[in-house]
Chain A
Amino acid sequence: MLTHLPALQVLIPLMAAPLCLFLRRPHLVWMFTLIVSGLAFLISVALLQQVMVSGPIIYEMGGWSGPWGIEYRIDRLSAFLSLIITAMSTVVLIAAQTSIDKEIPKNRQIYFYILFLFALTGLLGIVSTGDVFNVFVFLEISSLSTYALIALGKDRRALWAAYQYLIMGTIGATFILISIGLMYQMTGTLNMADLAVLLPEVAQTRTIFAAFAFFVVGVCLKLALFPLHLWLPNAYAYAPSIVTAFLAATATKVAVYLLIRFTYSIFGISFSFTTLPLQTLFVVLGLVGVFVASTAAVYQKNVKHVFAYSSVAQVGYMIVGFSIGTTAGLMATLLHLFNHALMKGALFLALGAVMYRIGSVQLSSFNGLGRQMPFTMAAIVAGGLSLIGVPLTVGFVSKWYLVMASIENGWWPVAVLILLGSLFAIVYVWRIIEAAYFKDPVAGKEPAKEAPLAFLIPIWLLVGANIYFGIDTRLSIQVAQAAAHSLLGISP
């Protein structure tokens, strides 16, 4: 049984999805989904432990060994990512039923859970598999279910947002597929480990250059790197609150994973960074992204939009760390993957709670909420401080490593820009805090009550994690360091 964990991790949610149809009652389905996600979480914990101790696990699907059969390859990076994904999905699901009761009609609630499980399957599949075509398949599974999840949003603009995402996402996925096809054409293999061996021989061909270019553009669409981020703000803003929380905490992270996996493990760092000018490109785009998206966040009226643009900015930080190309830089990116999931999970869930009580997340409807929903708003304050990067929160840890990594690399101006970028976060977070604590509630409106426990528990779990992992950083740093080392081929 234990040897099958890598496959079960993906298979359990996949199999559970159709079973939801038999349960019929939304509450039962919710319990069932929660249990499935919890199970996946336990598996990922077990896998991470195993990987940290004894190195990568290779699992051959159906007993066919690679490169002909499909193999699942769980290394430290994969295990780290699946831990993030399953932990976030489980926490977010705690609030799901309460939230969608208000946002999704009863007859569609079961579909929500089915799609959610498919999305989870897809994301877990992407990080577990060791086969590039499999990556594409899982990418499509997660993307298609995500489009539908977004379209479930109450606001009619959700349809338009989902459509936008569908078009952009499909272009991205197609580009990735083209890239995979070109690589297959040159090497005749789809196995990642095999590709890593065979690609260097044909690296100097135009085909591989094209494959790499297609991949980079495709994946950047998926991870919403400026200027390919246009689909993200609306998709996050109009999707059901739970979906936003889940996507913000996981989906872009998986895209960053793909970028790291392909550039470091498949194409190889010397090809990606030396032969092609990826480093310059990414550091510029990352930083421009930080500033443009942060500026946009400052001017948004819808708070979901604020945090959506902030997500684009945070992706910018991850890309900067990635482009530094050293262990420290990679570590900074990996830490920020983890830490950003915690921040945005908490923030978007808190917005979900506001949506639940008020029915709107316009900045103006936050007026006076500080008194009416003290625990929810305190969570937004804590999450916001983490986003700014105040010490004793996870945001500080990410920032420290990112700045450290750029200085180590001699990139002083980049370090300065990273710190300046975080000043924007103060502005957009404080607009919300001022509205909640200093403005009087709109006259004549009935005062809102504090959010139900179904919301408060997951929100404060995540806020607690924001603070806990900001103080006791052993787990996150250890895993991130180990993952970065193994990616760069440094033995720990």
Chain B
Amino acid sequence: MSLSLETMLQLTIILPLLATLGIAATGRNPNLREGVTIVTSLAVLYCVINLYLGLKAGESISVQWLAILPGLQLSFSIEPLGMIFALIASFLWLITTVYSIGYMRAHHEENQTRFYICFAIAISSVMGIAFSSNLFTLFIFYEVLTLSTYPLVTHAGTEKAKKGGRVYLGILLSTSIAFFLFAIISTWFVAGTLELTPGGVFDSSVNKTVLAIILVLFIFGIGKAAIMPFHRWLPAAMVAPTPVSSLLHAVAVVKAGVFTVLKICVFIFGIDLLSELPSTQFLLYLAGATVLLASLVAMRQDNLKARLAYSTVSQLGYVTIGALLATSAGVIGGSMHIAMHAFGKITLFFCAGAILVATHKSKVSEMRGIGRQMPITMAAFFIASLSIIGLPPTGGTWSKWFLLMGTIDTAQWTILVVLMISSLLNIAYLLPIPYRAFFPGKGFVADNAGIKEAPLASLIALSITAIGCLALFVYPQPLYELATAILEMREQPAHE
């Protein structure tokens, strides 16, 4: 195939949308339907990889769609940060599809066609967010992502799902309209542009207080980044089927949030300006508090998915901290953490789902000795836990390394301590699970000997992501190159 890169860029957004038609048409035949999803995700991944190679070769790729309002266009372009996000999302979409085939069937979920359709729309909007070249485009896809994932969160259709969906939608939609949109319109008014520009869009004459307020509005408005007090939607969304929790609430939705935060810090404010704003310090402490409190709450959760959810809230805080540190190490650490945490957390969720399917257990306290039954799953769980904590030999080491470097560079000692304590807390709430699973202690009687793993498709998926955690430790260079390239763009501005 000899498609131009511009076409590929558009295909990443359009293909998943087209796939919804195929999924709807083949809804009666599950094999064909899942076939459509897998083929589409392969195609999207192919396009994204080609775009990555194009970016590496130094090509600048951008596409303009129609102007919705005068001066506000739907337009897309490729830059390293978006590339990281798109690569992760498209790769993990493929893996998740494999996983959900095993999970959804073994779990006898209903409305699977609707599930795959909404999933595809969500991925399309993630690609839109990753590649959007202005804030307006980004906002549109951000909202589409919220709405398309609502039916996924409430998939079960129960009273609990309805309540969860209410919190999910209520917080995400409210914050985005009341704060995010307001911040965008203010930016448009103050700067006269919403273009995501290396080095920021505000010139030095703008009143710092106004910008400080806009920054606060942005950080609160991006509810998907789950900064306290707007984090409640994430645990609430855990009523969703596990594949949704894993891809959307460990990767796509939450990463869309912190990705947007990073984008805004680097390309709207610019890190030089960011470090001068009076509200940055306050927001840093808020993010630090989120990291600590969420870790503490996670320790007290007995439901595994809830524990993982709070852990996600805490880890998202890391990325926000990385962005707000406004230093190169912080940005590198933050953007690498998007990838590292994605691999780690999706593995953990996959494992949680596998345990649920194989043994119908969802509580941590019931999981003693489960390692005998599900050795592969629990081994993957162990590796992923290490990555989340940030211990070698897993990828999480690198992102935490750079984040700590960032705090030292900027002499943010409090934040440094927060990150250290939080790592300890991570150990405390994650590691006992695989430990107890393999070493149940005295007096534990295994109810049935023999291995009873999750469906093969799910097992393959979680093994791949677990291996991914390890691979990212040995071979983080491509990711690191992309992460450093984000700031190199800043140093050589005005290439537009």
Contact = CB atoms under 8 A, between A and B. Distances in A.
Given A389-B177, A392-B140, A407-B189, A477 B162 contact: no
B144 A426 contact: no
A437 B169 CA distance: 15
B177 A423 contact: yes
A473 B68 contact: yes
Given A404-B189, A477-B69, A438 B177 contact: no
B147 interface: yes
Interface string B431-454: 000000000000000000000000
Contacts of A415: 182, 185
A419 B181 contact: yes
B162 A434 contact: yes
A390 interface: yes
B182 A403 contact: yes
Nearest to A400: B69
A385 interface: yes
A324 to B, nearest CB: 14
A420 interface: yes
B211 to A, nearest CB: 14
A471 interface: yes
A389 B166 CA distance: 18
Given A420-B178, A422-B177, A390 B143 contact: yes
Interface string B163-207: 000100110011001100110011011000000000000000000
B66 interface: yes
A425 to B, nearest CB: 9
B154 A419 contact: no
A416 interface: yes
A420 B173 CA distance: 11
Nearest to B146: A390
Given A389-B177, A404-B185, A472 B143 contact: no
Contacts of B170: 426
A249 B458 CA distance: 52
A426 B174 contact: yes
Given A391-B143, A420-B178, A422-B177, A471 B68 contact: yes
B157 interface: yes
A397 interface: yes
A113 B378 CA distance: 72
Contact of A430 (B69, B139, B169, B185): B169
A471 B66 contact: yes
Contacts of B189: 404, 407-408
B229 interface: no
A385 B147 contact: yes
A397 B186 CA distance: 16
A321 to B, nearest CB: 15
Interface in A209-245: none
B270 to A, nearest CB: 23
B121 to A, nearest CB: 12
A404 B70 CA distance: 13
A146 to B, nearest CB: 35
Contacts, number: 67
Interface residues of B, number: 27
A388 interface: yes
Contact of A391 (B70, B139, B178): B139
Contacts of A385: 147
B140 A391 contact: yes
A434 B157 CA distance: 10
B178 A423 contact: yes
B166 A407 contact: no
Contacts of B162: 434, 438
Interface string B58-91: 0000000010111000000000000000000000
Nearest to A422: B177
A477 B67 CA distance: 12
Contact of A403 (B66, B169, B185): B185
Chain A CB within 10 A, most for which of B70, B144, B166, B181:
B181
Contact of A473 (B69, B143, B144, B173): B69
Interface string B272-316: 000000000000000000000000000000000000000000000
Nearest to A370: B157
B138 to A, nearest CB: 10
Chain A CB within 10 A, most for which of B143, B162, B177:
B177
Chain A CB within 10 A, most for which of B68, B162, B169:
B68
Contacts of B178: 416, 419-420, 423
Contacts of B174: 423, 426
Interface in A424-441: 426, 430, 434, 437-438
A438 B157 CA distance: 6
B182 A416 contact: yes
Contacts of A408: 189
A410 to B, nearest CB: 10
B38 to A, nearest CB: 27
B185 A400 contact: yes
Contacts of B169: 426, 430
Contacts of A420: 178
Contacts of A473: 68-69
A149 B173 CA distance: 39
B166 A472 contact: no
A51 to B, nearest CB: 21
A434 B68 contact: no
Contact of B66 (A388, A423, A472): A472
A430 B146 CA distance: 14
A325 B212 CA distance: 30
Contact of B173 (A388, A471, A477): A388
B13 to A, nearest CB: 14
Interface string A449-477: 00000000000000000000011110001
Interface string B344-363: 00000000000000000000
B144 A392 contact: yes
A388 B188 CA distance: 21
Contacts of B166: 430, 434
Nearest to A472: B66
Chain A CB within 10 A, most for which of B154, B161, B185, B186:
B185
B173 A426 contact: yes
Nearest to A415: B182
A367 B66 CA distance: 40
Nearest to A418: B182
Chain B CB within 10 A, most for which of A390, A391, A397:
A391
A415 B214 CA distance: 14
Nearest to A391: B140
A430 B157 CA distance: 15
Nearest to A439: B162
Nearest to A408: B189
Nearest to A440: B157
A407 B66 contact: no
Interface in B100-147: 139-140, 143-144, 147
B143 A397 contact: no
Interface in A246-300: none
Interface string A391-405: 110000101100110
Sorted from nearest, which 10 A-B pairs have the closest CB atoms? A391-B140, A438-B162, A407-B189, A391-B143, A419-B178, A403-B185, A423-B174, A419-B182, A390-B143, A426-B173
Interface of A: 385, 388-392, 397, 399-400, 403-404, 407-408, 415-416, 419-420, 422-423, 426, 430, 434, 437-438, 470-473, 477
Interface of B: 66, 68-70, 139-140, 143-144, 147, 154, 157, 159, 161-162, 166, 169-170, 173-174, 177-178, 181-182, 185-186, 188-189
Given A408-B189, A477-B69, 17 more contacts: A385-B147, A390-B143, A392-B140, A397-B68, A400-B185, A407-B186, A407-B189, A415-B185, A416-B182, A419-B177, A419-B181, A426-B173, A430-B169, A437-B154, A438-B154, A470-B68, A477-B70
12 contacts: A391-B139, A391-B144, A397-B68, A399-B181, A403-B185, A404-B188, A404-B189, A415-B182, A415-B185, A426-B170, A430-B166, A473-B69
